[in-house]
Homo-oligomer: A and B are copies of this chain.
Amino acid sequence: MNDGTSTADETAEITRAIPELELLSDDALDAIEAAADTILQEVGVNFVNNPEALERWRRAGAEIEGERVRLPRGLARELCATAPGVFTQLARNPARSVEIGGRGLVLAPVYGPPFVHDAGRGQRYATIEDFRNFVKLGQTARWLHHSGGTVCEPTDLPVNKRHLDMLHAHMTLSDKPFMGTATEPSRARHCIEMCGILFGEDVVREKTVMTSLITIGSPLTFDDTMTGALEIYAAHNQSCILAPFAVVGATTPGSVAGTLAQLLAEVLAGAAYAQLVRKGAPVIFGPFVTTMDRHGGGTGFGTPAASQITYGAGQLARRLGLPYRAGGALTGARLPDAQAAYESAASLNDGLLSGANFMLHACGWLEGGLVSSYEKFVMDADRLGVLHGFAGGVEAGLDDALDALREVGPGGHFLGREPEMAGGWQSDIFDNRPFEAWIEDGGRDAMKLATERVRDLLESYEPPALDPAIDEALSAFVAAKKAEMPDSFM
């Protein structure tokens, strides 16, 4: 159900019954699309250290000069036509498989931070234990549809092996769909092999079972690591979020329209390239957008420019016919305080109303992406129910209301008319009880309530059942791969 009411196993992605906010005019979007074509034609993109990629492009009709790839006007969009507008990512629990694209919105947790924060211990380096905790919290999060990927970076494990334990955690502690690793092509291959164990190799051959985050180096640069991972996933029909990293005014021009043109060019190039690797490879139009903080050189979130870009990029994605990734509970705050919440609520809302089909960082993000926060994870996860409720739209039907008004009349009230009071989202953490009741109960602020919520969820967590043979095979695979290589922390 999409009205935001709670049922224990409510996990289907949001299906929008509401319109998007179409912020930019058609003329403005036409101009941006024309500019993107100009960028690809005149400036081009670099495919670094990847002769095979250059050859693919040459065969497709691009002009190659060193590592520079220039595309004739319209070529990228034409190639993108074979990318699906909507596709399904399987979860090991079929009820939790998600549709990505169309009217759907899939919510996934924070991705990437090397630090974690909790009220008790403050800020510290993230470990595999934290990683497992966040996967557990994600599994219990009623409004979260996806287990995500690098919910934090397990810095206590060797860099060249941590992806094995990370994927193992997603596969065993959660039955929601998850992400693959994109740090190195051989690791992407391991992920696909592990999926073969979990789902069956024939399933993995036919279906999409992973979505991975491919960062595009703005401006206009496809490095070999990310592109290598993209190639492997695309070849195996696994989906990729094409994520230019836009810091407005630093890695993109300082204007909203200029940024949109560059992002479109970058995604067009990446999506077209994926089709050259394999026609029909699922890709997601997924820029990450932040603005420069002029005070201290950090990055800003929940700002007007970032919002405007989010809406505009959604419009461009729909015109291109690709699923769209945007939004998240983004903030530059160092604590899960009011600043964090103002900024996060703004970017969550941007994601919803811009038509995002996939939202990474929907819970747990803190300090510009450096920190995964326990308290913020549960507070954000709680607020995601608001997106569900609002996206479900407004029920038609006025007969009950008219009857009620005829009965109740002026000066009456509607309390106790049970059928009409059903439903409607409410927080599982916060309440609006009177001051006295709240004081009697300890006068706990948002942080304290969130700390308790974290503790309660982790204590009551139970892993979803997994076929013991698969469990064993996964553990064996992980152990074997670890044994094959020496540890590396670089």
Contacts and interface: CB of A to CB of B under 8 A. Distances in A.
Interface of A: 3-4, 18-19, 21-24, 28, 31-32, 35, 38-39, 42-46, 68, 123, 217, 219-221, 248-259, 261-262, 291-305, 307-308, 312, 332-346, 349, 353, 367-368, 370, 376, 379, 383, 386, 388-390, 392-398, 400-402, 404-406, 408-415, 417, 419-422, 424-427, 429-435, 437-438, 443, 445-447, 449-450
A337 B337 contact: yes
B42 A389 contact: no
B250 A413 contact: yes
25 contacts: A18-B23, A28-B394, A35-B401, A39-B402, A43-B410, A219-B413, A220-B405, A220-B409, A249-B415, A250-B413, A253-B405, A256-B394, A257-B401, A258-B401, A258-B404, A293-B426, A293-B431, A294-B426, A298-B434, A303-B426, A307-B386, A334-B435, A338-B338, A340-B341, A367-B435
Contact of A333 (B293, B368, B425, B446): B446
A252 B429 CA distance: 26
Contacts of A383: 342
Nearest to A291: B424
Contacts of A411: 46, 217, 219-221
Nearest to A406: B43
Contact of A346 (B18, B386, B433): B386
A400 B304 contact: no
A298 B4 CA distance: 19
Contact of A341 (B22, B251, B261, B342): B342
A44 B390 CA distance: 31
B346 A431 contact: no
A2 to B, nearest CB: 10
A45 B410 contact: yes
Contacts of A426: 293-295, 300, 303
Contact of A257 (B4, B299, B396): B396
Contacts of A258: 398, 400-402, 404-405, 420
Given A31-B396, A386-B303, A401 B261 contact: yes
A305 B424 contact: yes
Contact of A255 (B221, B367, B395): B395
Given A19-B21, A339-B341, A296 B431 contact: yes
B293 A432 contact: yes
Given A300-B426, A303-B389, A417-B254, A438 B219 contact: no
Given A308-B390, A394-B312, A303 B425 contact: yes
A363 to B, nearest CB: 12
Nearest to A397: B257
Contact of A32 (B337, B353, B398): B398
